[in-house]
Amino acid sequence: MSVGEEEQIIKQYQPLIRALIPYEQDNRLLEGINKFSKRLPSSVRKIVKEEVVRLTSLTDASADNSAFAQFPVMKFKHFGIPMRLDKVGAEILKSETSLYQERYTVGVFESVMNSDFYQTQIKRDQFKKIVDAFKVESQSFTDIDFGNDIAVRPNFTVSSPDFEKGRHCTVSSLSFTGLAVETKRPPNVTTGDIITFTIPEVMGLTKEPTEITYELDTIKYNKHLGKYESFFTISSETDLSLLNQLKRYIKAVSYKQPLQRDLEIERAMQDLERDRILENSPWMPVFLAANKKSLKPVISLFTKANVEHNNAELLLKSLQDKTIFDVLAEELMRYNEAYIFYGKIKTKSGEIAITATHRQLLALGQLNAIVYLLVKNNDFICTQCRLDDITKEDKQKAFAIHDIASKDFEHLGAISHVMYCRDVTVYLNTLTLSEKCEFKPLAKSLRASGERWHIDYVMEEALDRRSETRYVIDKSAQIKLSLLNSLDVRVLDLSASGMKLLVPVGTDLQSELRVSVPDLKIKNEKYRVVHYDKSTGTVRLCLQDDGKKSKTCANVDAMVEENTAYFKLRDVARIQRATHRFIWELAVRHMPSLSVLCVMNRHILDRLKTVYQSDTSDDLYPFSRTQNIIPLHGFFADKAQSKPKSLMLDAMFKGAMDHSLVVHCVRKSDNRLVYIKERDFLYTKLRSQIQSQLEEEKIQISATDVTAIRCHGAITPLTKKRLAQLSKLDKAMYDKLETMQAGYTHCIFVTNMSALHHDLVMAKLIAKPTQTNSEKEGAA
């Protein structure tokens, strides 16, 4: 075998050679070779063995890397041998000698003197600095589990003749095994004293005053409360049934009452941050209930951000067709993610409304044709949907936290899933065919059926534009059509100067109506039609602005005042507030995207405060987290830079960019990551090369959407609610957390969209650069 061939083999099997070095040091080289290289040809095994032996042999050659050193060179002796090395060379010497069991060998000498090895070390150190700079601590959307350490601050006092002369003392902490009592001065007791406290009658805990025996553990001064706290542990002789009742009580009230101070601060922090993510998320939650063997949409939640970043009306329309929703629900329950197309295409017989999932189009071999026709007609929406289960425990928490009686909101108790939706049409509306495709006859399954689900919606009060209180009622009414004809209808809700009616579907109505409601003493009043949905039969009316308006308003107000208790329960605003808070509470625990909270700071990378990620999320792919540390360099860091920088974050924080597509190809042969620029992936010939590589299954594509949204304000609809419990415990911490809310500036959402982009590439669809895209590329 020639020298060149030997060098090639040594270069090829360098990882194996380094893995065998520790075996040679322990005189187990043969064992190592048999373990790692059973299938290697004997000639290759021989070369590998000889190279390992050569590298591990001792040397006395002095090392000098001053020819390629980038730092001041130091002179020193290592094992008595003179060295002239810079800082990096010294680090290589240290790491290599540790590999060779602290010996100075040929391998150590060659590593120190090898310029390529030196450059690789520098690049590795630089890359590590970049990775470390973009690491952010993670939190989960799931509630913090305090386990057996959970302790509440109950709203009752305890007393004992042996403690503080029988005075009633505030309980600052009640746990499964202990009790903490507050006093203004140090109590006259010593560690180990046995004290029997009397607990009053407490709903859910005791039916009459009950004595529980505790042993004093410690007494500490709590500077936050400005009081002394005496910590007791429960007696081991306490009745087991009482212990179990105590545990049940603490678990039951943990969402209605404050927790012990430190735990309440932790909980409030998580609640405030999850609320901020939901408030500023582009995802619109749609809540689903069971429908035979499938699901049906029930109600959606509107926020400032999701209304701003989606065409809310069109997005809900894309989900309403009953036939497609069954297909969508089936896909979501199987894959947890789906994409749905809704729009119109032009055919010889006219415009046809179509609605289909991208997997439906793939199965029919029509993804490229339908997308091309939709884009050509420029009247469509592509909605990304993600599904998560709503557990019984989630609903119980939501009812408890907001003190809502579940029997009054049975329709909310029926919710079983949450589907998050967002408009991703921006990645499709410039697509065109890169080569001719077959236009097949339009499949019947792709046409909108016309049968639609009704999806209600609820919004925060700041978005609600109603000027009057409305009340839910169910009364019969008549609309006068002519002198002798009238139409029987139902009144659904009522306000001082308006009402909502339900009329037979498809009824033609004039712009002004005369309405009579005998039970409400409204007779032949003239109303103006504000909104009429012919498909559902709902009509919103407003009194005509004439002399009678004030009289009718006064009559309604008087009726409400006479029956306050009846109408209070039917106040639409109250019902919607409870509904809003309930579904908000469900939504914050199931957010679909990896979310990064950003705060004010001079340095861009220090603005990345916390990452929230669900336990089942794959948005970090092709990267992975280590325990609770999330690496974000792959999405944010500037590529081919020696220092940690991010032009993307800089542009997002300045408002010059709101979203970006980060693309990587994973090479299957060696799992190597190859970064691809967004413009190259979307607009250039490289896209067809990627497509051919995908067909040959040589690579796997990872396409991740990064969207930044500026926070809409310092407070969210539930900020006051989240801090209410803490205000009872620690006013100073309450003020601090309230002030902190103004420090959040942006929420960044990282969403894996690989499934859609992979299929669009395989369908041979390519984007056409628009003027906006060209400007964006020039800026980049």
> What average pLDDT does range 375-394 have in this prediction?
92
What is the model's pLDDT at position 778? 47
Taking Cα atoms as reference points, which of 494, 503, 513, 501 lies closest to residue 552? 494
Residue 73 has pLDDT above 60, yes or no: yes
Alpha carbon 169 to its chain's center:
43
Q: How far apart are CA 214 and CA 163, in angstroms?
A: 11
39 against 537, higher pLDDT? 537
Residue-wise pLDDT tens digits, 542-565? 887 655 556 667 667 676 666 666
What is the model's pLDDT at position 779? 44
What is the model's pLDDT at position 710? 96
Q: How far apart are CA 361 and CA 446, in angstroms?
A: 8
What is the model's pLDDT at position 613? 92
328 against 472, higher pLDDT? 328
Residue-wise pLDDT tens digits, 77-92? 888 888 999 888 898 8
What is the model's pLDDT at position 461? 67
32 against 333, higher pLDDT? 333
Beta strands in 380-454 (DSSP E): 380-389, 415-423, 431-433
Q: Which residue has the tokens 């680090």?
A: 91
Phi, psi at 468, each rounded to 5°: -130, 155
Q: Which of 264-268, 653-657, 665-669 has the lowest mean pLDDT?
A: 665-669
What is the model's pLDDT at position 1? 59
Alpha carbon 303 to its chain's center:
15
Residue 726 has pLDDT above 70, yes or no: yes
Residue 570 has pLDDT above 80, yes or no: no
**Cis peptide bond N-terminal to 187, omega within 30:** no
Q: Which residue has the tokens 């048999």?
A: 34
Domains 151-253 and 471-570 in one fold = yes
Q: Which of 20-29, 267-276, 433-442, 559-568 has the lowest mean pLDDT?
A: 559-568
> What average pLDDT does range 272-294 have in this prediction?
94
Average pLDDT, the chain: 87
Question: With pLDDT > 90 as the criterion, what percentage of the chain qualifies?
Answer: 46
**Is the distance from CB of 489 to CB of 478 less than 8 angstroms?**
yes
Q: Which CATH class is domain 471-570?
A: mainly beta
Residue 454 has pLDDT above 90, yes or no: no
> What average pLDDT does range 352-365 have in this prediction?
91
Question: With pLDDT > 70 as the criterion, what percentage of the chain qualifies?
Answer: 93
Q: How far apart are CA 1 and CA 268, in angstroms?
A: 71
Classify strands 699-710 and 765-767 as parallel, antiparallel or unpaired: unpaired
Q: How far apart are CA 600 and CA 597, in angstroms?
A: 11
Residue-wise pLDDT tens digits, 741-770? 999 999 999 999 999 999 999 999 999 887
Taking Cα atoms as reference points, which of 680, 675, 748, 740 lies closest to residue 708? 748
Q: Measured between alpha carbons, how far is residue 657 from residues 597, 605, 647, 775 in Å?
A: 17, 17, 10, 12
What is the model's pLDDT at position 780? 47
> What average pLDDT does range 569-585 have in this prediction?
81
Res. 406 pLDDT band, cuts 50 70 90: confident
The pTM for the full model equals 0.82
The structural domains of the chain, with segments of one domain joined by +, span: 3-136, 151-253, 282-459, 471-570, 594-779
Res. 48 pLDDT band, cuts 50 70 90: confident
Based on C-alpha coordinates, what's the Rg of the chain?
Answer: 35
705 against 350, higher pLDDT? 705
Residue-wise pLDDT tens digits, 193-218? 899 999 999 988 888 999 999 999 99
Q: How far apart are CA 457 and CA 683, in angstroms?
A: 39
What is the model's pLDDT at position 180? 93
Residue-wise pLDDT tens digits, 675-691? 999 999 999 999 999 99
Res. 713 pLDDT band, cuts 50 70 90: confident
**Is the distance from CB of 189 to CB of 163 less than 8 angstroms?**
yes
Beta strands in 115-161 (DSSP E): 135-139, 151-152, 157-158
**Is the distance from CB of 690 to CB of 681 less than 8 angstroms?**
yes
Handedness of CA 522, 526, 532, 537 (dihedral sign): positive
Residue 63 has pLDDT above 70, yes or no: yes
Residue 4 has pLDDT above 80, yes or no: no
Residue 149 has pLDDT above 70, yes or no: yes
What is the model's pLDDT at position 591? 95
> Which CATH number is 151-253 given?
2.40.10.220
What is the model's pLDDT at position 560? 67
Tokens representing 106?
């040929």
